Structure 1
Amino acid sequence: MFKKILKRDGREVPFDETKITDAIFKAARAVGGEDRQTAMELTIEVLKLLKKKYNGQVFGVEGVQDIVEKVLIEAGYARTAKAYILYRDKRTRMREAKGELMDAVAEILEETSRENANIGNSPSAKMLQIASAASRQYYLSRLLPEEMSLAHSKGDIHIHDLDFYGKTLNCIQIPLDRLLQEGFNTGHGYIRPPKRPTSATALAAIILQSSQNDMFGGQSFPFFDKQMAPFVENEDENEVFQSMEALVYNLNSMHSRAGSQVPFSSINLGTETDEASRKVTRNLLLAFEAGLGKGENPIFPNIIFRLREGVNFNPGDPNYDL
């Protein structure tokens, strides 16, 4: 009866009426139906309407689906029609997501700007952006509840770090003191405990780097001054400054995350009043203030200086000078 059908991409392919029967039967089975003969009879009605409407002209897939819906509803198979419509809508959204993904990939490959200061335009950075775009489309079309997916797409809500949804944990506070005292394993060998401040800060950077590769959010040392204090007690100011400067350099140059990103790191300090902890805080702040090699502002670490009355908040407090 019909020789050709027009696909959505513009290609003409041989018409196969069994595909109509298969689609109707699949929708029927979704609501408990098991009679393929009925699906075949409904297909005949669809073919009659197609012949009447198009009269020998080549028609498209959407036209066939519209008539299938019409036949199902008019024949009294409302539940089957609903299942067919829902499946059709799902397939439509999947096609749209695929098209949007291809558009996003093309834009990424052409783009030369840096939307995120921590992501460059190197080949690995492009790969990260493409993988992120694919992940977002997958989660929006396959995993998230439809109402949440639509709300995000319309801008009613924003799901932060959507590209990592379902992959791993977000952020963590790292017990630096325990790792430096006991040593640790990054997966490729055991690291012995350090003895000098320069070694300790080098390992601190490696700890942040290793942890960052297992997560997508920020990595933090909660009590850096206290945790680093044992390694600086008997060291002079210059040695401690050099070790803190090395830490700042490492955290801004170790392109260890996907996309050539440096670790998203935060360091908490400021409330320990013993001299060793104060030495750590003072020299890290000085190293951070000095900037990188030509005075550039460091991107990381985020330094979180905690305030507390009686410690550093008011003049006369032991850490007020810091």
Structure 2
Amino acid sequence: MHQVLDLTPESYQRHTIHLQERDWAETNCYVDVWIEQLHALGLDPMASMAFSVTPDFEGDQWTFFKFQLNDLYDLYGLEVQELVIWKTLLDNVEQQVKLNRPVLVELDSMFLPDTAGTAYQREHVKSTVSVNKIDRENKILGYFHAQGYYELTGTDFIEAFALPEANNQLTLAPYVEFVKLDGIKKLSKDSLRSKSEVILARQLSQLPKANPFEKFRHQFERDFAWLLEQPIETFHEYAFVTFRQFGACFELAANYLNWLAPEKYSTIAEQFSGISSATKVYQFQLARALNRKKMVDLNAIDNMAEMWLKAIEKLKKMVHSE
């Protein structure tokens, strides 16, 4: 058995962001797993969330927002590298964990017990987990996923790694990263905030050139007619890559700015929170409208566009004036 941190699902205490009541209980698999992985390492994940202020509409989806690897290095001294799967998935993952390195790997939620009630034993859904513990002999995997730390065993272990006796076989190796902890550093809160403000200024250079909500509104108006003819499953997929992405991202942006300097950025954080909460309500309204085969009001997206513009203009002035 090999493990990076001495943890159990019963004793693990989740990060506060996954304990509080939120518009979006989960963000996306990559962000959620990094929040818990950093937290478990004794690092504050809030410092590395400047990426959350610059999502864009990418034409057919919103930005799949993620922690930036250069920020993880600058703030915490973590070096993240891609792991080439040239043996078996189990062999390569086990070797890195043996070297005291967490491994972020895409596994099938069909075999992740923490997704019970959604994907577990129901459907094949790719999701990123961070492997902390691996016991090949007893077929136990300890992993971070979504809002916490979990374990899977037995048949789930066999199927998740597509072992020879599994019914599920990998046709292509998943994307895998490993984290080198050799240079890990734990800065003071003041140092983290100072470094994070520098990162925020750098991140603002990646702001969308045009208001992303205006671009999205035009596309969504066309997409709605198409969605009316699609099964409800298609709507859920569409909502995940659009409303869920920007709603959760701007809620995270509000959390980040309130962590960074609440007295300074509170009004901007309120605008981002307003986008998040309005998006959650609008997504429910959209589902009902599709069920009734009726057009949905687009004014809500116009309001989001206005909130975004006010927040971004003020944020740019405040950051670049220093």
Greater gyration radius:
1
- Under a length normalisation based on structure 1, what TM-score does the superposition of the two structures give? 0.22
Q: Which has the higher strand share?
A: 2
Question: Which is bigger in relative contact order (C-alpha 8 A, separation at least 6)?
Answer: 2
- Under a length normalisation based on structure 2, what TM-score does the superposition of the two structures give? 0.22
